[in-house]
Amino acid sequence: MIESGAPGGKLLKTNEISNWPGIKSEPGSKLAMDMFEHSTSFGAVYEYGNVVDVQVDAENPISDKQVICEDGTIFQAPAVLVATGTKERLMKIPGETQNIGRGLSYCAVCDGAFFRNQEVAVIGGGNSALEEAVYLTNFASKVYILMRRTVFRADKIAVDAAKANPKIEILQNVIP
């Protein structure tokens, strides 16, 4: 495994995972570490690096592939699985980048306590937005979910949890 950050990626910032087979509910950080420990117990090797290229010999595609990292390190493997992970999506609205950490956050688990007894807004209608909104109700006095659409993209379990929470108000057809 070649990882540019901590093993687990976005799972580390997820308060609760409730849609993983065999697990009723647990923190994302625990699931991430369990997966990491499980994979390394079977011989997987963990390396830090930022992969910039994967090369395959066109004349002999069954030969080892070369995985090239930003620092020049080259790894060879008979097979390569590319798992790009996920990052927060910037909304590209005025003042966004200047206000990160000044009331604008992309991680409720990391920053939720800073918003204790305040009204906050979460933008989006997918799983991440709804899960973060529900988590924020542990701190905030009120959580508004701002959605551009009228239909959720989230799983039913996330939608039901958000709708059932008395601290959450869902506003649809809103463009921030």
Size of the chain in residues: 176
Which residues are known to be catalytic? Answer: 107, 110-111
